[in-house]
Amino acid sequence: MNTSSSPPHSQTPNFQALTAQAELYYAQGQLSEAIACCRQSLNLQPNWASTYVTLANIIQAQGKISEAINLYYRAIELNPDLSQAHVNLGSMFFRQGKLDEAIACYRKAIQLRPDMAVAYWNLAKVWEQAGKLDEAIASKEKALKLNANLGGVEVNLNQGYKLAEEGKLDEAIDSWQRAITLNPNLAEAYSQIGIIFRRQGRFSEAIKYLKKAIEVRPNYATAHQHLCGILRDGNNYAVARQVVSNYYQQCGEIDPIMTGIYLISTYQVSGLNEIAKDRFFDLEAKLKEDMTIVKKVVDLKALYGNFLFSVPYLRDDIQANSDLYKSVSKVYRQFVLKSQNNHFSTPVNFDNKHPLKIGFISNHFNRHSVGWCSLDIIRELAKLNTEIYLYPTERLKVDDQTQKFSQAVTKLYVPKKYPHGSVDVREIITEIQQDKIDILIDLDSLSLPINTEILHHKPAPVCMSWLGFDAPYISENNYFLCDLHTHPQDRDKYYMEKLVRMPNSFVATSGFQRVETNRANLRKSQRIGLDQIVYLCLAPGRKFNRDLAKAQIAILKQVPNSILIHKALGDIEVFQAAYHQACKAEGVSIHRIKFIERFPTEEEHRSIYSLADIMLDSYPYNGGTHTLEALWFNLPVVTLAGEQFLSRMGYSFLQSLDIKLGVAWSWNEYINWGVKLGQNPHLRQEFVDKLVNSQDSENLAPLWNPKKFAQDMYNTIGKL
């Protein structure tokens, strides 16, 4: 018996020509003629396996599946290595719903021909039918790698989305690259690759792909947004403003919400808050007039996570801000959070028999303001009758501070899935519930919307926000941890969450480390005289404004031989222009303003406090970590206190130190305090002495006592 796919030399080749003719008829839909040719071919050569495959293909097209299966089996009997017969037989079993048999056939075909793209493609369909989506995606990806044309542009594009959803980002990029090969003008593919590169920190590559997406489709809003975001966050301020202006020109009419938000944030980080404020008021007026103009989920997410984040930097009006927070968060909860189909079990109330399990969600268990201000407290909490669990809510940038967190707690969870490069909310919630957390504390509020999404699902009996921002306005059943100085008794009506007030301050730290320097040498290196009064401003672009610059220059005018050092993240040309204008108006030399570049590490940065005599705090958003650092290093601070939480941080810190000096309630008072502390060395020394005494171990101020804070916090939250 001849089982090869080649005829013996003694046979006439007409049977091959007849089989080829049959395939031609089959392709043209002339099935009867095709069958006749196959029969003639088999009469001439009854052991030619390929003819049986062709005949089976034609028969199955007539709906005769069982007969086709017998013919494929006959082909395999004659030639067991004929991969096409195994593939086609698998397809017959798939049509009959016999998935195991189909899988076995496709695997055999792949074993015979590992480069057989169609076998992987068909196997993917079986896996999908069987509900094994991971296997389906892997098989389809293999098929498309072997033959990008197999599914066409749309299939490669969609395959990329599926792979990204699974967190398989490199494979997703490969799929989108194949789609681009098939269609070089595919803006979606360029944009998606750029977005993934951005989330991987590969910014140069991301910019290249995002620019290409915009070149292909000039009004492609998503690509504009991510390009603006990279340049804004990468401190390339002038270029960022050009890019966001182009975004507004191209998409302002079709995308008014997002263009407005990106204009605000880009001008804010530059330090152009007056322009940002005008844009803010424009967008707020539109929302007040008709909130239904917000039609897309992506717009709602941006309004909540980005637009509301900008508010306290631009306006200190607790009633107006509260109204805006409530109106936006209401729509956000209704159309974003409640529309999600994630169903989780309701947590049971904890009992007092086991240690209190406290979970923290944040992306800042590292060298970040939230990390610096929370570590000491978390360490002290861990020494009480507790178990502490940390859950990063973005891909964590691990550093030496992360190691300290990890060593202090019961568990620092590392997420396993990163769909589209982000943490999977469902994974974090499931982990929190499996750990049976009693109290879940969010450290970032709406500055990290994934945290508020977790809070919305209430994975623990008690959920609370604290430290990193104002309350998230997510649930009346949740809590916000604060103090009586930041949130006086009449403030509850402005919030959705229940306010829980700590007895002294909303934060505490055991201090900060710095590179020790000699004050005289440091001043000499900066060409500053030992007898000069040095004011320090650390307000970054978001916290900088012309009112602040005017007040600081007004202080310099009244304090001879004084200078101002400005060291912060933002557009240096914007800072210089604002100070130049203020100096010109007051008749003060611009040379009395000195700009210092940022240092590589926080420890090096903190040496700046030994250079200065007085720190001038920002308003309407006070300094947080910077003000704490200044006070710890015994530097007097002038702070302007307002209505909202974030404009009362400096006031709270000084109150917890029992210091009444330096607190202003208007710009005039701010200027007066700056002048008095600059002109009066005795008053300045009194301030310094109070700061020194606050660190006395025998009478340690609450602000420097994280052990006391942790015990107070434990007692307070334990009652909830």
Q: Is the pLDDT score of 652 beyond 70? A: yes
pLDDT of residue 14: 85
391: which strand partners?
Answer: 361
pLDDT at 489: 95
CB distance 469 to 446 below 8 Å: yes
φ, ψ of residue 648 to 5 degrees: the values are -125, 10
Does the pLDDT at position 8 exceed 60?
A: no
Q: Which of 459, 456, 468 is nearest to 497 (CA)?
A: 456
Tens of pLDDT along 125-183? Answer: 898 888 888 888 888 888 888 887 777 888 889 889 988 988 889 999 999 999 999 89
Q: Bridge partners of 247?
A: none
What CA–CA distance (Å, rounded) separates 599 from 575?
18
- Torsion sign over Cα 173, 179, 182, 188: negative
Q: How confident is the model at residue 2 (pLDDT cuts 50, 70, 90)?
A: very low
pLDDT at site 703: 99
- Output 255-261 pairs: Cβ under 8 A, ≥24 positions apart: 255/221, 256/286, 256/293, 257/283, 257/293, 257/294, 257/296, 257/299, 257/302, 257/303, 258/221, 258/225, 258/298, 258/299, 258/302, 259/221, 261/302, 261/303, 261/306, 261/307, 261/310
- Tell me, what's the pLDDT at 352? 63
**Per residue in 40-93, pLDDT tens?**
999 999 998 999 999 999 999 888 999 999 999 999 999 999 999 999 999 899
Residue 125 pLDDT: 86
Q: What is the mean pLDDT of the chain?
A: 93
pLDDT above 50 for 615: yes
Q: Is the pLDDT of residue 470 over 50?
A: yes
pLDDT at 5 over 50: no
- CA atoms of 273 and 267, how far apart (whole Å): 6
**Count of alpha carbons within 13 angstroms of residue 101, beta-carbon side:** 13
φ/ψ (deg, to 5) at 133: -70, -35
**What is the residue whose two structure tokens read 């809070």?**
455
| Residue 201: burial class (beta carbons within 10 Å; 0-12, 13-18, 19+) | exposed
Spell 310-347 as b/e; 16+ CB within 10 A means b. bbbbbbbebeebbebbebbbebbbeebbeeeeeeeeeb
Tokens of 322: 């509260």
How does DSSP assign 333-373, residue by residue? Answer: IIIIITT-----PPPPPP-TTS-EEEEEEES-SSSSHHHHH
Residue 1 has pLDDT above 50, yes or no: no
Report residue 380 as tokens: 């002290």
Find the mean pLDDT for residues 405-426. 94
Q: What is the DSSP string of 250-305?
A: HHTTT-HHHHHHHHHHHHHHHT-HHHHHHHHHHHHHHHHH-GGG---HHHHHHIII
Q: What is the pLDDT of residue 9?
A: 42
Query: Mean pLDDT, to the nearest integer, of 586-613?
Result: 96
Record the tokens describing residue 528, joined without a space: 């500053």
Q: What is the pLDDT of residues 248-303, one digit of tens each?
A: 999 999 999 999 999 999 999 999 999 999 999 999 999 999 998 898 999 999 99
Determine the pLDDT at residue 10. 42
Report the alpha-carbon angle 239-243-249, nearest 5. Answer: 145
How far is residue 442 from each of residues 316, 369, 478, measured CA to CA in Å?
Answer: 24, 15, 11
Report whether 419 contacts 167 (CB < 8 A): yes
Q: Which domains does the chain have, with CATH numbers?
A: 14-151 (1.25.40.10), 218-337 (1.25.40), 356-502 (3.40.50.11380), 528-703 (3.40.50.2000)
> Can you tell me whether residue 501 is helix, strand or coil?
strand
Burial pattern 32-66, b for ≥16 Cβ within 10 A else e, equals ebbbebbebbbebbebbbbbbbbbbbbbbeeeebe
Minimum mean pLDDT range among 17-31, 338-352, 609-623, 633-647: 338-352
| Residue 105 clears pLDDT 50, i.e. is over it | yes
Predicted confidence at residue 159, as pLDDT, reads 87
Residue pLDDT, tens place only, 208-218: 999 999 999 99
> In 10 A of CB 385, how many CB atoms?
11
- Whole-angstrom distance, CA of residue 89 vs CA of residue 49: 14
Q: What is the mean pLDDT of residues 412-437?
A: 94
Q: What are phi and psi of 671, to 5 degrees?
A: -65, -45
3-state secondary structure of 178: helix
pTM: 0.83
Distances (CA, A) of 59 to 21, 68, 85, 95: 16, 6, 14, 14
Whole-number pLDDT of residue 82: 92
- pLDDT, position 29: 87
Contact 176, 189 (CB under 8 A): yes
- N- to C-terminal Cα separation, the chain: 85
Average pLDDT over residues 103-122: 91
Single-letter amino acid code for the residue at 246: N
398: three-class secondary structure by DSSP: coil
Structure confidence by residue, pLDDT tens digits, 335-387: 888 776 666 666 655 566 689 999 999 999 999 999 999 999 999 999 999 99
Residues 502-530: tens digit of each pLDDT: 999 999 999 999 999 999 999 999 999 99
Nearest 10 degrees: Cα torsion 250, 255, 261, 265: -20
- Rounded distance between C-alpha atoms, residue 483 and residue 437, angstroms: 25
602: how many CB neighbours lie within 10 A of its CB?
18
pLDDT of residue 665: 99
Return the top range by mean pLDDT from 109-113, 141-145, 653-657: 653-657
